[in-house]
Structure formats: structure tokens, C-alpha cells
């Protein structure tokens, strides 16, 4: 499985992906703090020695959240994002978290389609949530304890 836990040595590659996609501005210290936190599930996708994607979740029971996910543009749409997402959702099941929330820029239609295709449902819009005034679209999974076990991880 090319997905493994993120460690400090991965952060430069993760920052490079973030910089290439310019969708978020976490710095090295923030990633360091995230990977040390006991409630964080942070993973990278490694392809022949290259880090091509990552995801960061907070596993906090009913307040679990996907904080960040990204895949290098050159390898997008080949299922890597879906595998990273599934990995976090499987961990959520292990920890018996019922639900996973996330927020995404309202105009990030690519990511919104991705989340909708992976079982997330829009439940609200938070007006002017981002510093530049853009709205956030709020998504959540169904209550995961209600999902047929054969459908989990989708
Ligand atoms: C969102 C993201 C992580 C998806 O990663 P991915 O590896 O391409 O995802 P997958 O290959 O598993 O799934 C692709 C699905 O995403 C959606 N998608 C991806 N690119 C899309 C595009 N250009 N237009 C519309 N939908 C798109 C589709 O639902 C697509 O499924 P399909 O190919 O069957 O139509 C990736 O596009 C990305 O890194 N985006 C930039 C960072 C970002 O916006 N992150 C989310 C905010 S935190």
C-alpha cells in the first residue's frame, strides 16, 4: 500500500505540493504540530519514492474532520485522492467516529465533485468564511454507524 503515515521528513515534499496547487497556506510548523497531535491522522501517498499526495484528518469522535487533502496535478484523476480519503474514513470507522465534516471553498468545484462522489453531503454555506471573503461549503458524511459495512470506505 503506497499510503503511509506522514513524518517530519515528508514535510518539504508536502509543502511543495501545497505550493504547486496554491490552495492553502499551512507552513512547516503547522504541519509539524499536526503530525505530533494525538488526534491527527496524517498520511502521504508515495509513488516510486515520490510523495504525490497527502491528507490530514482530525479524529475527534462526533467532531472528526478532514482538514486537508491534495494530489499533485500531474497525477490527479487517477484515484489517489480517493484512496487517501478512504484511508482516513477507514480509520474513522476503527475509532468508531460517527461522522466526518469538512469545509471547502465554494468555488472549488473540482474538490466539491470529488467529495460528493465519495459520500459527502452539502449541509450548509458559511458566508465570507475565508480571509478573502469567499464562502465555505460545509460537507459531512452520513452517520457512519448507519452505513451498511459493505458500503463503508466509499
Ligand atoms: C480534490 C483532489 C484531492 C482529488 O484528487 P484526485 O486524485 O484527482 O481524486 P480521484 O482521482 O480519487 O477522484 C477524481 C474525482 O474528483 C473529481 N474531479 C477531479 N478533478 C476534477 C475536475 N477537473 N472537474 C470535475 N471533477 C473533478 C471527480 O469527481 C473525479 O471523479 P471522475 O474522474 O470519476 O470524474 C485533487 O483534485 C486536488 O488535489 N485538488 C487541489 C487541492 C484541493 O482543492 N483540495 C481540497 C480542498 S482542502
| C-alpha 80 to ligand 1 mean position (Å) | 9
Which ligand 1 atom sits closest to the C-alpha of 75? 7
Band (pLDDT 50/70/90 cuts) for residue 146 is: low
Ligand 1 centroid – CA 52 distance (Å): 14
What is the signed CA dihedral for 58, 63, 66, 68, rounded to 10 degrees?
Answer: -70
- State what percent of residues in the chain have pLDDT above 90: 81
What is the pTM for the complete model shown?
0.91
Helices (H), 80-119: 80-94, 109-117
Amino acid 129: pLDDT: 96
Spatial contact of 80 and 71, defined as CB atoms under 8 Å apart = yes
> 26: exposed, middle or buried (C-beta count within 10 Å: 0-12, 13-18, 19+)?
middle
Domain limits, the chain: 3-151
Question: Closest Cα to atom 27, ligand 1: which residue?
Answer: 110
Nearest CA to ligand 1 atom 4: 81
Contact call for residues 99 and 140 (beta carbons, < 8 A): yes
Please list every protein residue whose CB sits less than 6 Å from any atom of ligand 1.
21, 23, 68-71, 76-82, 104, 108, 110-111, 113-114, 117
- pLDDT on residue 142: 78
Say whether domain 3-151 belongs to CATH 3.30.70.890: no
pLDDT band at 101 (very low <50, low <70, confident <90, very high): very high
- Tens of pLDDT, residues 50-79: 999 999 999 998 889 999 999 999 999 999
Element (H, E) at 17: helix 11-21
Amino acid at each position: 500500500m503506497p499510503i503511509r503515515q506522514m513524518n517530519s521528513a515528508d514535510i518539504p515534499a508536502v509543502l511543495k505540493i501545497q505550493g504547486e496547487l496554491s490552495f492553502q497556506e499551512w507552513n512547516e510548523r503547522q504541519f509539524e504540530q499536526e503530525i505530533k497531535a494525538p488526534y491527527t491522522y496524517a498520511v502521504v501517498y508515495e509513488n516510486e519514492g515520490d510523495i504525490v499526495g497527502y491528507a490530514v484528518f482530525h479524529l475527534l469522535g462526533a467532531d472528526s474532520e478532514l482538514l486537508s487533502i491534495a494530489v499533485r496535478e500531474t497525477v490527479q484523476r487517477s484515484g489517489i485522492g480517493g484512496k487517501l480519503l478512504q484511508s482516513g474514513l477507514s480509520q474513522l470507522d476503527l475509532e468508531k467516529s460517527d461522522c466526518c465534516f469538512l469545509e471547502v471553498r465554494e468555488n472549488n468545484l473540482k474538490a466539491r465533485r470529488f467529495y460528493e462522489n465519495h459520500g459527502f453531503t452539502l449541509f450548509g454555506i458559511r458566508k465570507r468564511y475565508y480571509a478573502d471573503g469567499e464562502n465555505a461549503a460545509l460537507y459531512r458524511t452520513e452517520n457512519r454507524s448507519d452505513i451498511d459495512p459493505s458500503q463503508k470506505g466509499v
